């Protein structure tokens, strides 16, 4: 078997979580952590609905899946607790420098999970104030 064929077979057998990215996450307390192999989980008790390569936001009435590869950062600009459930407004800075206003998509678990130097990491999306892919 050639080296190329072997590499191709290995890539097919590597778990899909290995394709997840590393993110720099800042929470409501101002704590900044690098989360390795980050996944955003929108699933419920009986369903699996996870994004490894981005996260979902609302732009008007539409749901948009942001790819980490196109994002420089996502920062929370406003949390409206008078709305039920709370409405979290964000500013997305694309890799090209363009700023776009959006709202955090609400569905299911809404958790970001991964690994840090201390171990397994889980945080509710509502407790995040900034996310930036590590490049």
Q: Would you state the pLDDT for residue 86?
A: 84
129 pLDDT more than 50 = yes
Q: Would you state the pLDDT for residue 44?
A: 82
Q: Would you state the pLDDT for residue 84?
A: 83
Residue 82 burial by Cβ neighbours in a 10 Å radius (0-12, 13-18, 19+):
exposed
| Confidence grade of residue 125 (pLDDT, cut at 50, 70, 90) | very high
85 pLDDT more than 50 = yes
Q: Average pLDDT of the chain?
A: 87
| Mean per-residue pLDDT, 6-11 | 43
Q: Would you state the pLDDT for residue 3?
A: 55
User: What are the pLDDT digits (tens) for 15-66?
Assistant: 444 467 999 999 999 999 999 999 999 988 778 889 999 999 999 999 999 9
Choose between 70 and 20: higher pLDDT. 70
87 pLDDT more than 50 = yes
């Amino acid at each position: 078997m050639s080296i190329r064929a072997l590499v191709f077979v290995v890539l097919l057998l590597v778990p899909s979580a290995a394709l997840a990215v590393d993110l720099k996450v800042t929470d409501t307390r101002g704590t900044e952590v690098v989360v390795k192999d980050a996944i955003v989980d929108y699933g419920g008790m009986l369903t699996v609905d996870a994004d490894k390569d981005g996260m979902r936001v609302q732009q008007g009435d539409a749901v948009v899946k942001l790819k980490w590869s196109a994002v420089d950062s996502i920062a929370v600009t406003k949390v409206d607790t008078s709305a039920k459930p709370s409405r979290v407004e964000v500013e997305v800075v694309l890799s090209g420098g363009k700023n776009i206003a959006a709202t955090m998509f609400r569905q299911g678990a809404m958790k970001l999970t991964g690994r840090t130097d201390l171990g397994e990491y889980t945080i509710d999306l509502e407790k995040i104030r900034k996310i930036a892919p590590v490049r």
